Structure 1
Amino acid sequence: MERFYGQSLTWGDCAPFARTAGDRDTFKDPGARCARLTVPLDYANPGGATATLGLLRVAATDPSRRIGSLLVNPGGPGASGLGTAIRSASQAKDTELGRRFDFVGFDPRGVGSSEPAIRCLTDQERDAERAEDDELDASPQGVAKVEAEQRDYARKCVERTGDGAALLASMGTRDVVKDMDVLRSVLGDEKLSYLGYSYGTRLGTTYAETFPRNVRALVLDGALDPEQNVVEELVAQGEGFQKAFDAFTQWCVQRPDCALGQDPAQVLPNYWNLVRPLIDRPVDLGEGGRKLSYSDATTAVIQALYAEELWDTLNKGLGDLKRQRAQTLMLLADTYFERGQDGRYSTTQDAFTAVRCVDDQRVTDKTLVVQAQERYKQVAPFLDDGRPTSSALDACAFWPVPNTSEPHLPKIQGLPPVLVVSTTGDPATPYQAGVNLAKALGGALVTYEATQHTAFLQGNRCVDDAGIAYLVDLTVPPAGTTCDG
């Protein structure tokens, strides 16, 4: 491993690392510099094939007082970390954090600018998949069709991805944290300082398990519960999104222009009456033959529930849908799927599937599939399509490589104090998951009272002050620290 841990990085222009139109704009930041890190594709065979990871660094603004690097990851799994480093550094530029740390983002193996990169569907195939609501057909023929599509998807992931099954087998958290330790060494940091959002909290937790003596500081924001299996996580997330939907409707009914009306008792039926007809009659956008499907409409709603500042847009989109206009909701759905105006997609959705299929135990019991979906509809009635529940297995049931991790309670000796941030109204990673993770790691918890997904370096002075004091001075906030939104 010496050739990996001892390699030198060559920092240069970030333009070649851009994979989307958004990247090309973001990477024009004059403070951003990019490089490639080489890691073994298979850590059991470090002399074999290699992969390279895209890196982006924004240097500390006071290098004479520099502490080291702050490695950042936005989660996903499958999301690119390069733009996150730029945005986080910008938020912190006038603080001790920005003055004393280099912000370093990385694209995990197979993701974004990293090579080889996973790619399963073409842009046209992704559009076609979104336009169909096949998964809502619970008939034997419908189930067979969906499962054939899922098998085909898994096959395409192998055929269209560089190094095929070898990369897919190494996409999981188990291998990414080993890449992170190589990166820590190459950056010249004796110990790791890390900021992980959402799925990035699993990376931070697993890194702490694997390399506890190499941890300086971990901020874990929007935590995944370390013990939850994929079914329990799905149900908990459904509860979180329903809570956010309820908060949105409580806000909406106070407005004279609320698309769901002013009667709180009728907002859910009114919402169903808007979106359920899309199952049989999607709305034509009049551009390139695209149509808003039911699944795209619900994806648009989910996207808007991630942050309160999107509620106005969501209300407008639902109001437009009443008039058979779908552009606003489609824009929200395109944002979720990272589809650019040029019709091109990032690889995030394919990488998301690839990571989850090797991180989680796959579900192949059809009875369990139906039970999970029924529970999901019960806890998140706004996502109930009103149709019988399908027993179709997902792509992970047909994945060509075995899983390499499974949920468990971390037991770590010698770990320094860590900081967990959890938001009371977080729709995607519910508050209790953060409470559970902080307890499991023996860490400090900052509670943020708001409805949004993640909080640190997003404008709340209380949360930011606590996180910055911890990262810079290793000062742990007092027990019970709570910040108002």
Structure 2
Amino acid sequence: MDTRRVLRTTGTVIAAAGLFLSGCTTGGSAPGAAASGPGRAATTGADPAATPAALAPYYRQKLTWRACGVPGFECATMKAPLDYARPASQGGKDIELAVARKKATGPGKRLGSLLVNPGGPGGSAIGYLQAYAGIGYPAPVRARYDMVAVDPRGVARSAPVECLTGPAMDAYTQVDQSPDSPAEQAALVEAFKKFAQGCAQRSGTVLPHVSTVEAARDMDVLRAVLGDEKLNYVGASYGTFLGATYADLFPSRAGRLVLDGAMDPSRPAVDLNRDQTEGFETAFRSFAKDCAAQPDCPLGQGNPDEMGRRLKDFFRKLDAQPVGTGEPRTLGESLATTGVIAAMYDESAWPQLRQAITDAMNGDGAGLLALADSYYEREADGTYQNLMFANAAVNCLDLPPAFRGPQDVQAALPSFEKASPVFGPGLAWASLNCAYWPVKATGTPHRLEAKGAAPIVVVGTTRDPATPYKWAQALAGQLDSGVLLTYDGDGHTAYGRGSDCIDSTINRYLLEGAPPKDGKRC
């Protein structure tokens, strides 16, 4: 299984999410201060006149909106510097970013634009807007905000990172990611190397410039182009890191920010991976308790420890003898594990997972394969969306690798197995991918404080599998104006997932600017 640190909301499809989350880039600088290095350029003040001359053409550009296939939505293309340290006026290249919006429907006074991002990194914000946020966010919010999305650089419609063909990606997803021998370890390392080489060959120009800092700077250009004095934003999962990075870079321009399913930018990659491994174990135990109460539970009616051992035994059987799926691909341990993890993101998928495990135990792996395909964003024709390619590109640029080689994984295996007896080994080995990345990381773990920003609402779910609750606590504590809102429940993220308490609290903040009391629980 390749859990590749995908963190994303379940608003668009079941599961798209994975392991390890990714990190941060270098710390933000104060408004108006200069910064240097990859992905960094001088920040700009609230006054457009303070914008560096080399960046002014980007901030003053006009978008040409057009209908884009989904009724009620408009699309446009925005230019940004490929490298903020060398914009076009200084001989650099531009990158084109896809933008979409759905105008406020009324009634009520328009509050400006509300930018949304579903996470990933690698999730299409435009896809999320058109399939969910633009039609599914609470009506009072959609009435008063223009709902807006930009696919971040390297993602979907914005100069997408490409790495492998469909058949090559099929082979990659089936590589054993819990190797039991030196030969299997070597095969996994070779798979990671081929993946990285494919990205370098197909997307070498954009790979050094898809950091979260650069994506946050793009959002500030978009804010100005849309005519908004401040950025209003709802980011889920990895989108919380993107939003917090924006606030840290441009605290005076941060408006009403909701960071749902938060990341902790201060932790190194190996700790993030281990934390997330523990989060999936927590989610599995909740699933196991629910499953045990059902008469058709394929893992029996024991306690979560016993049920976890049964699932692990089943994975071992698949490792030795994959089962059929009704198509040329078979279901082995890696795809089966990915399918189970995919269903951990949303408790509404648990009945589907029960049936899929039951079928697989009876020799039909189609159900678990379908869950794994949803996670990897594999299309019916065998092609893949670029989620996993962009995910690796951003993560491996944002943080130094979790491990330098197989020996480091071996040393860390006991701690990962302690975090999750079921998923630990696979998730530890999956964390090795960035060791072979062709571009050196430009970011480091660091605190994001956004000193001087208006109140920022950080939302944490107590049994979130992908972004453990302690990360929300940590981010809310780091942000100078962070306010923690807690949802006591299961699943990944909280807004728009059925809690009236969460939804009404966030709606009031977005519509009236009134944040909840720090520590409020729902």
Q: Which residue of 2 aligns with 1:18?
A: none
State whether structure 2 residue 519 is matched by structure 1 residue 480. yes
Q: Which residue of 1 aligns with 2:506?
A: 467
8 Å Cα contact 1:139-1:390 kept in structure 2: no
- 1:354 aligned counterpart, secondary structure: helix
Distance 1:208 1:231 in 2: 25
Q: Which residue of 1 aligns with 2:193?
A: 151
Name the aligned partner's letter for residue 269 of structure 1: R
8 Å Cα contact 2:312-2:422 kept in structure 1: yes
Q: Which residue of 1 aligns with 2:15?
A: none
State whether structure 2 residue 86 is matched by structure 1 residue 45. yes
After superposition, the CA RMSD in angstroms is: 1.9
Q: Which residue of 1 aligns with 2:122?
A: 78
CA-CA distance at 1:365 after TM superposition: 5.4
State whether structure 2 residue 319 is matched by structure 1 residue 276. no
Q: Which residue of 1 aligns with 2:155?
A: 111
Distance 1:46 1:464 in 2: 41
- 1:121 aligned counterpart, secondary structure: coil
CA-CA distance at 1:377 after TM superposition: 1.7
Distance 1:390 1:118 in 2: 25
Post-superposition Cα deviations, 1:137-161, rounded to whole Å, max 9, x if no partner, equal: 3544433333233222222111112
Name the aligned partner's letter for residue 370 of structure 1: Q
Q: Which residue of 2 aligns with 1:123?
A: 166
**Of 441, 458, 476, the match for 1:438:** 476
State whether structure 2 residue 404 is matched by structure 1 residue 364. yes
Name the aligned partner's letter for residue 361 of structure 1: P
Superposition pairs for residues 388-403 of structure 1, below 5 Å?
A: 394-403=432-441
8 Å Cα contact 1:130-1:293 kept in structure 2: no
State whether structure 2 residue 464 is matched by structure 1 residue 423. no
State whether structure 2 residue 136 is matched by structure 1 residue 91. yes
**Of 160, 167, 176, the match for 2:202:** 160
State whether structure 2 residue 418 is matched by structure 1 residue 378. yes
Distance 1:101 1:379, change over 3 A: same
Name the aligned partner's letter for residue 38 of structure 1: K
Superposition pairs for residues 262-301 of structure 1, below 5 Å?
A: 262-264=301-303, 266-287=306-327, 289-301=328-340
Superposition pairs for residues 101-250 of structure 1, below 5 Å?
A: 101-115=145-159, 117-133=160-176, 135-161=177-203, 164=204, 166-250=205-289
Q: Which structure would you say has the larger RCO, counting Cα contacts within 8 Å and 6 or more residues apart?
A: 2
Distance 1:340 1:391 in 2: 26
CA-CA distance at 1:372 after TM superposition: 3.0
Superposition pairs for residues 296-335 of structure 1, below 5 Å?
A: 296-335=335-374
State whether structure 2 residue 14 is matched by structure 1 residue 14. no
State whether structure 2 residue 56 is matched by structure 1 residue 2. yes
Distance 1:149 1:268, change over 3 A: closer
Q: Which is richer in helix?
A: 1
Distance 2:275 2:101 in 1: 35
State whether structure 2 residue 96 is matched by structure 1 residue 58. no
CA-CA distance at 1:3 after TM superposition: 1.3
- 2:490 aligned counterpart, secondary structure: coil
Distance 1:82 1:306 in 2: 21
8 Å Cα contact 2:405-2:435 kept in structure 1: no
Runs of 4 or more off by more than 6 Å in structure 1? 389-393
Name the aligned partner's letter for residue 309 of structure 2: P
- 2:492 aligned counterpart, secondary structure: coil
Distance 1:103 1:142 in 2: 48
* TM-score, length of structure 2 as denominator length: 0.85
Post-superposition Cα deviations, 1:437-482, rounded to whole Å, max 9, x if no partner, equal: 1111131111101110001123321111111111121101123311
Distance 1:177 1:384, change over 3 A: closer
Q: Which residue of 2 aligns with 1:24?
A: none
* TM-score, length of structure 1 as denominator length: 0.91
8 Å Cα contact 1:91-1:458 kept in structure 2: no
Distance 1:13 1:151, change over 3 A: same
CA-CA distance at 1:63 after TM superposition: 7.0
8 Å Cα contact 1:274-1:321 kept in structure 2: no
Distance 1:392 1:235, change over 3 A: closer
Distance 1:150 1:365, change over 3 A: closer
CA-CA distance at 1:410 after TM superposition: 2.0
Post-superposition Cα deviations, 1:20-67, rounded to whole Å, max 9, x if no partner, equal: xxxxxxxx3x11111111111011110121111111111111276111
The count of residues paired between Structure 1 and Structure 2 equals 461
Distance 1:384 1:256 in 2: 28
Query: Percent same amino acid at aligned positions?
Result: 40
- 1:84 aligned counterpart, secondary structure: helix
8 Å Cα contact 2:277-2:424 kept in structure 1: no
